[in-house]
Amino acid sequence: MQPLEGIKVLDLSRLAPGPFATMIMGDLGADVLIIEAPPGATSEMNRPWAEHDEGRENAFDPLRRNKRSIVLNLKDERGRAVLHALAKEADVLVEGFRPGVIKRLGCDYETLRRINPRIILCSISGYGQDGPYVDQVGHDINYISIAGMLGVIGWPGTPPAIPGNIVADFAGGGLHAAMAIMAALIARHTTGRGQHVDVAMSDGVLYLMASWLKLVLAGGEPPKPGQSFLNGRLPLYNVYETKDGGWISVGSIETKFWRNLCRAMEAEQFAERPFDPAIFEEAKAHFAAKFKTRTRSEWFEILSKEEICAAPVYNLAEALEDAHNLARGMVVELEHPQYGTVRQVGVGPKFSDTPGAVRSLSPTTGEHTDGVLQSIGYSREIIARLKADKVVA
């Protein structure tokens, strides 16, 4: 058994946040059905980094794993009728359209709850379902800007450092959506009703910044890039280049860890002054020179034995080969009929009694259309007619 076994999820989302939320639910056992648009029905995102072999790219796509797929034209009344039939038996519907689109497609919350009062609709958008920016377009970089996060990343005197699209898309959006959906499922046990969950990625990023925001809310100065407690000002929480061009991250905030670091760096003159601004630049310069005397792996081997908060800065390929990540099951292998062994990232949370799992790789687009339609009472003849009219595929 898995934690979400028996929960049925309809996934109407397209870009990263929604598919990540439903990936989490699928990894934890939910039955996730992707409802895909017919070819040419939606705007395609520019993907200059994508492989030319779309089939291979699809096979390795974690956001589609543990899911089934149908193609459904929701601009056709018959397509909406199929969606409504599916919604009648579903627990959750996830969508990531711009506000107002789901109403035009006939799957807004008022419509859905008349069909199924217990259904939970989760809408994921950049700025939410209301407010001055409700119609504003955007992407991760814009949401982290509005929430103040981009403004604290980087070094003094340089432009803000643009992170990958992890913070707003996946954490502020997808992760918050999965958490909110599960909370709504628990609430349903008490109320007997579903509800509409409004997840704005800009809200999610501000939520993630709660601990940082307390400083400003209490009347303090806003953190600046590279000049605050945990974003580069302190020598004890920083990154240092090594002899081989690699990098080591240091996070020795606690007094005992700082003293151990100073001892390992032959810098005991700083050991009793971890938060003294007078020694910051001198200590960073000393550490920078010292770290240049050995390679990244040599330093990690030394520091990891001395109760010092330190770790090598990996690229993603290196992270996939790290012994600890492998031991924790964070890389899994499945067999694909065309591409052989396919590796994917494992499931994050570990359960002692009902563990999650990667049960299946990404479906091909529309792979389960016939089976899904038959399961809700459509005959082969009607399915063939719907295909001919391009309502399903």
pLDDT in tens, 328-383: 999 999 999 999 999 999 999 999 999 999 999 999 999 999 999 999 999 999 99
Of the chain, the end-to-end C-alpha distance in Å amounts to 32
Q: Give the C-alpha separation, 339 to 57, whole Å.
A: 10
pLDDT (tens digit per residue) in 256-312: 999 999 999 999 999 999 999 999 999 999 999 999 999 999 999 999 999 999 999
Q: Of all residues in the chain, what percent carry a pLDDT higher than 70?
A: 96
Residue range 8-208+329-388 forms a domain whose CATH class is alpha beta
pLDDT (tens digit per residue) in 146-193: 999 999 999 999 999 999 999 999 999 999 999 999 999 999 999 999
* Type of residue at 163: P
The domain segmentation of the chain, as residue ranges, is: 8-208+329-388, 237-241+247-312
Query: pLDDT value at position 54?
Result: 74
Helices 17-27 and 176-191: crossing angle in degrees, nearest 10, is 60
Q: Give the C-alpha separation, 134 to 146, whole Å.
A: 13
Q: Which of 61, 76, 139, 368 is catalytic?
A: 139
How far, CA to CA in Å, does 174 sit from each of 3, 62, 204, 338? 18, 14, 9, 30
Query: pLDDT value at position 49?
Result: 46
Res 50 pLDDT > 80: no
Judge if 8-208+329-388 and 237-241+247-312 fold alike in CATH terms. Answer: no
E strands in 126-195: none
Mean pLDDT value across residues 110-119 = 98
Nearest to 32 by CA among 19, 14, 16: 19
Query: pLDDT value at position 56?
Result: 87
Cβ burial, residue 33 (10 Å; 0-12/13-18/19+): buried
Query: pLDDT value at position 55?
Result: 82
What is the pTM assigned to this prediction? 0.95
Q: Give the C-alpha separation, 24 to 176, whole Å.
A: 11
Cβ burial, residue 349 (10 Å; 0-12/13-18/19+): exposed
Residue 211: pLDDT band by 50, 70, 90 thresholds? very high
Provide CB contacts within 8 A for 78, sequence distance 6+.
Answer: 386, 389, 391
Res 48 pLDDT > 80: no
Q: Which of 169, 176, 203, 286 is catalytic?
A: 169
Please indicate whether residue 52 is annotated as part of the active site: no
Please indicate whether residue 76 is annotated as part of the active site: no
Neighbours of 110 (CB within 10 A): 9
Q: For domain 237-241+247-312, which CATH number applies: 3.30.420, 3.30.1540, 1.10.3470, 1.20.120?
A: 3.30.1540
Query: pLDDT value at position 57?
Result: 87
Torsion from C-alpha of 311, 148, 178, 95, nearest 10 degrees = -130
How much is the mean pLDDT over the chain? 95
Res 107 pLDDT > 50: yes
pLDDT (tens digit per residue) in 84-99: 999 999 999 999 999 9
Dihedral sign, Cα of residue 64, residue 163, residue 149, residue 43: negative
